[in-house]
Structure 1
């Protein structure tokens, strides 16, 4: 295939697939022992099978027929490559530190002039086949069986934290409180947020010293609060856009129609998040120009302004930010 046809079919650039194959072949996951140390399915074929599975909505039987292997082998290959990607996830899904915190905050600031934001948090549901046990727990508000993917996304649409596998019936707020992120954010606040940075999320989330949600709109918000919600929403939409890119590229995540192994489904979803970040690192984008969304006309925000937006410890973080934006005639 030519490069354009390859990208159209595989959803990844050829260079990205070559990189994955090289990494996989040198890992402990890349050898499928068939006796005498020989590999039954080559690393290249394994990577291609995994990519084809997550990029389309084929069954394992169809995947096996396409690549000339048994259904059980197709299942085993997808599981193994997923585990491989999770094994290198610390390289690609990681919390920004040091100067990267400031740079990420500056990129968010260029969107709507909100100082101090380092990530947007949100949840999306991954539709699944009805599980064998506790079906009611996995029935979400749309009456679909699902698991929840919670993610924090930076200004470059990269995942910096991922939690996956909670039942679809759980509210976003509860998913957050049950996540490792929630415990870490309180316990390691100074390390993760440097005492002044924070995340933004929709009104489902609580207001904390490290998380600023929008206002709940029951029809009684002031004009200032409505304007706050408007620029807040515009800034945090990066997380929903990222979910759209993830599911648009890896269509398997739209619905798991065959698998009922919740652990394997969760691993496949997380592995797709890792691969999403690898694609960004490799400049392998879904849409032309998606990497050029920022408004470069905005000046960099100063550290003093970030601290100013959280200057009064007696007020909650959202009220501090609201006051800051009003004082600077942004709302």
Structure 2
């Protein structure tokens, strides 16, 4: 019988697959193995990365360092930013209509929380494309921890006449909650525009990290030729690898992202679907932040 592939060769095959848009046949030809052997190696490596490294690499670090980082960017007492991105896939064998988005391609959603440096802190992947971002978030264990106040330390600051807990920042697709701030929509005056600017400036880190993720691991730019069971594993492995690259200071060429954006033009991300739900306490907090940004009283 043929000797088993070495660990080094399996890792090399997986990294090549992650970093290119090559099909399995092309990957196999590159390394002198057949299509099925290459596919098996990719999934073995992806499972090993997610099982052994995900909980160690994508985790909440020093909260105060993160809060200080976002404060330097303009938003006080912020712990993370949240957003989602759509990963194109081949048409699934079952319930394919649940995976089609408004841009008419099949996809899975990757939702992530990132820190001020653009590192993944928490990821949620595997939901079909028709699921709204807010529903995906509400059905996560992370939402329960944030709602119960057990995820972040009980660290509040006073803004105007309200207490501001450590918050996360989201786009209009998310509900407005005391611990989740999102921008104003509709008719905006100068004070609302200023809050939106500060919030968007900090929330931009999560959009940037999605760009860097797909620029480094270009298998996410095209329809992943995997089963719906294995796709979340590969996406999660790519997120782990991005964190490792960023923490090790691996070279990133700006041109990669420009090229990746061109390659991704066939799979345009859909516009955010805004929701209106908001808690009264959250409205008071956002109003206090808006006033403090206008008067210069917010600690940033």
TM range (shorter): 0.7 to 0.9
Matching residue of 1:175: 136
CA change 1:215–1:193 in 2 (3 A) is farther
Q: Structure 2: which 5+ runs fail to align? A: 156-164, 255-279
| Higher relative contact order structure (alpha carbons within 8 Å, sequence separation ≥ 6) | 2
- Within the alignment, does 1:281 sit opposite 2:247 as a pair? yes
Query: What's the CA shift for 1:257?
Result: 4.6
Task: Measure, in 2, the Cα distance between the counterparts of 1:137 and 1:316.
Answer: 37
Between the aligned partners of 2:172 and 2:291, the Cα distance in structure 1 is 18
The SS at the match of 1:215 is: coil
Identify the residue that residue 216 of structure 2 maps to in structure 1: 249
Structure 2 counterpart of 1:67, from 20, 28, 31: 31
* Cα shift at 1:222: 1.8
Provide runs of 4+ in structure 1 moved above 4 Å: 312-315
Bigger radius of gyration among the two: 1
Q: How does 1:144-163 map to 2 (within 5 A)?
A: 144-163=105-124
1:140 aligns with 2:101: yes
What is the aligned partner in structure 1 of residue 71 from structure 2? 109
CA distance in structure 1 between the partners assigned to 2:125 and 2:5 by the alignment: 29
Contact 1:147–1:166 (8 Å) recurs in 2: yes
What is the CA–CA distance in structure 2 between the aligned matches of 1:115 and 1:227, rounded to whole Å?
14
2:191–2:293 contact (8 Å) kept in structure 1: no
Equivalent in the alignment of 2:80: 119
1:194 aligns with 2:154: yes
Q: Give TM-score scaled by structure 2 length.
A: 0.82
**For 1:155 and 1:314, how far apart are their aligned partners in 2?**
23
Aligned length: 263
User: How far does residue 285 in structure 1 lie from its aligned partner after superposition?
Assistant: 3.7
Given that residues 194 and 293 in structure 2 are in contact (C-alpha distance below 8 angstroms), is that contact kept between their aligned partners in structure 1? no
- Equivalences for 1:309-324 in 2 at 5 Å? 316-324=284-292
* Cα deviation, residue 313, structure 1: 5.9
State the superposition RMSD in angstroms: 2.0
Does residue 79 in structure 1 map to residue 43 in structure 2?
Answer: yes
Q: Deviations over 1:258-292 (max 9, x none)?
A: 22x1120110000000001111221114147xxxx
Q: Alpha-carbon deviation of 1:192? A: 2.0
